[in-house]
Amino acid sequence: MKAVAIKKDQPRDQATAGFQAMGILRCEICLEDFVICHSPGLADKSLADRQAYWLEKVLAEEHERDKKHPDRIELPD
């Protein structure tokens, strides 16, 4: 796993310990915050920006389907 979004108030597990926080995205509908995290050797600001755009769409689609956001979401490369 290279990148993941974690709900802001969730504890990080061993798999994401040491990951670098790249930014926070707030769901515009429910106002939950997600921290975008990258593995340290692959931290890339422009990739994090693209992932935030992707995540924004995913979160909106979950609301359209009355689906609860998971605590963590793996992000595309």
Three-state SS sequence of 32-50: CEEEEEECHHHCCHHHHHH
Order of strands across the sheet that contains 72-74 = 20-26, 33-38, 3-7, 72-74
pLDDT-derived band at 10 (thresholds 50, 70, 90) equals confident
Computed over every residue of the chain, the mean pLDDT equals: 92
Q: What is the pLDDT of residue 14?
A: 64
Q: Above 90 in pLDDT, residue 11? A: no
pTM of the model: 0.89
pLDDT-derived band at 13 (thresholds 50, 70, 90) equals low
Give me the residue spans of the domains in the chain: 3-74
Q: What is the pLDDT of residue 17?
A: 79
CA-based angle 2:22:66, to the nearest 5?
A: 80
How many angstroms separate the CA atoms of 21 and 58, rounded?
Answer: 20
